[in-house]
Amino acid sequence: MTTDDARLAHHNANASTRWTAVATVPCGLRATMGRPVAAALFRRMVRELPVRVEFPDGSVLGAGSMSDAAGPRMLIHRSDDFFARVADSGLIGFGEAYMAGDWSAPDLAGVLTLLATRIATVVPAPLQHLRAICLPRKPRSQRGTRAGARANVSHHYDLSNEFFSLFLDDTMTYSSALFDRVARRPEWNDLGNAQGRKFDELLDAAGVTAGSRLLEIGTGWGELAIRAARRGAHVHTITLSREQQLLARERIAAAGLSQQITVELQDYRDVRDQYDAIVSVEMIEAVGYHHLPTYLRTLDRLLRPNGRIALQAITMPHDRMLASRDSYTWVHKYIFPGGFLPSVELLQEMTTRHTSLHIHDVRSFGPDYAHTLRLWSQRFTAHASGAEALGFDRVFRRMWRLYLAYSEAGFASGYLDVHHFVLDR
């Protein structure tokens, strides 16, 4: 039995325990007493949105139901179960209701984008202070300690390289692409070139040229390291994902660049050398709020005096980051345990307070991430049978569709953004 076969057999054998929260509708006091409150808040939220919410009894809500140009449809299949889940665990219950089939939407990202525009205000201001009491908090086991970070990364990235290849482009890049601002429409579906543009901008920003000693924190599947080595750089790239390390080494060897690139299974805190340049693409989100000062000080320690750092980071507005930094969400429970999205202001403030570094360039391109996710979603839907063949069951596939659409909605609504940061001394 191969490593992939063994992992997928374990994945299938534990399906019944993994989906316990999805298979069982909450019936405790919070669910039963809170169900009418959740129903009232939901109905109030959608009443003025250009969406059409259809209930099993034939009733319809939403401004989209009263317009000639009807908005995206949200179909509630089991309203009692849906509101019980939401009452019991908020947005975690909302996501679990989709995984269980309590609701669906032909245009899932469209519905979620509209809901995201109201998500910060759906709970009335006088009740906002109750969120810390009513909603669960992140488990301490998910914090970004060395052991926690490795477990968190493995949960997501060690699913299966074959699984990720179902929806990523040939570069195997799992981060936002950067589309051409001038020729945007002609290249809108050319994801591989847009990913290459992103990597080239980051390498240029970090000053990576022939002879540069580059540290990459977060290998992915090796594409940035390969592009840097083709410039003549010597690359040390680190990851906590065994699956990514194995495939990155294969891709690097196939490109004939093994002498220039070292791929190590290593925590960023354990790197000891110094480098002319450091690049990290969407790894900072896995660091966690409590370990962010350590991460930034590590960057400072590893950078040579005249070096530069280029980071790509997903961000949140500062006020929403402050309100949600200790929250435990559906994404933490099912997709990215331990994840934390900083704000631009937080990164600037912590960099100034904890390091000798200076952020001198910040570039936002959130709409590009929304479109990147849209393309991934299309590919994932087209290859659903491939995911099933790999052993990923129906609940998992619904979970993953929700995750991609949920993320697209965040960027499309402006609730999330993605930035390039350039740091030096």
**Among candidate residues 106, 134, 162, the one where a domain is terminated:** 134
185 and 118 assigned to the same domain: no
Lowest mean pLDDT among 104-118, 180-194, 290-304, 310-324: 180-194
70 and 204 assigned to the same domain: no
pLDDT band at 132 (very low <50, low <70, confident <90, very high): low
CB 344 within 8 A of CB 351: no
pLDDT tens, position by position, 27-72: 999 999 999 999 999 999 898 899 999 999 999 999 876 655 568 9
pLDDT at site 9: 47
**Domain encompassing residue 358:** 140-424
Residue 315's DSSP bridge partners are 417
Lowest mean pLDDT among 39-43, 171-175, 254-258, 282-286: 39-43
In this model, does residue 382 exceed pLDDT 60?
Answer: yes
DSSP 342: P
| Sign of the torsion formed by the C-alpha atoms of 74, 80, 85 and 90 | positive
In this model, does residue 387 exceed pLDDT 90?
Answer: yes
pTM summary value: 0.92
DSSP string, 227-247: HHHHTT-EEEEEES-HHHHHH
Q: What is the mean pLDDT of residues 391-405?
A: 97
CB 379 within 8 A of CB 167: yes
236 and 118 assigned to the same domain: no
pLDDT tens, position by position, 283-299: 999 999 999 999 999 99
89 and 168 assigned to the same domain: no
pLDDT at site 139: 78
89 and 208 assigned to the same domain: no
Total tally of structural domains belonging to the chain: 2
CA torsion, points 87, 417, 373, 338, in degrees to nearest 10? Answer: -60
377 and 413 assigned to the same domain: yes
Q: What is the mean pLDDT of residues 109-129?
A: 75
- Long-range contacts of residues 154-158, Cβ cutoff 8 Å, at least 24 apart: 154/240, 154/241, 154/242, 155/336, 155/337, 156/335, 156/336, 156/337, 157/240, 157/241, 157/243, 157/244, 158/7, 158/241, 158/242, 158/243, 158/244
Any alpha helices (H) in 48-178, and if so which ranges?
A: 79-100, 108-116, 125-128, 131-134, 146-157, 161-165
69 and 172 assigned to the same domain: no
- Across 10-24, 143-157, 242-256, the highest mean pLDDT is recorded for 242-256
In this model, does residue 401 exceed pLDDT 70?
Answer: yes
Lowest mean pLDDT among 16-20, 23-27, 237-241, 322-326: 16-20
| CATH at 390 | 3.40.50.150
118 and 166 assigned to the same domain: no
336 and 258 assigned to the same domain: yes
pLDDT at site 22: 94
219 and 123 assigned to the same domain: no
Q: Which tokens is 125 given?
A: 């201001």
pLDDT band at 147 (very low <50, low <70, confident <90, very high): very high
Name the residue with higher pLDDT: 6 or 99.
99
In this model, does residue 239 exceed pLDDT 60?
Answer: yes
84 and 150 assigned to the same domain: no
Strand ranges (E), 232-341: 234-239, 261-265, 275-281, 303-315
pLDDT at site 316: 96
**Among candidate residues 82, 107, 134, the one where a domain is terminated:** 134
pLDDT band at 138 (very low <50, low <70, confident <90, very high): confident
**Among candidate residues 102, 134, 166, the one where a domain is terminated:** 134
173 and 126 assigned to the same domain: no
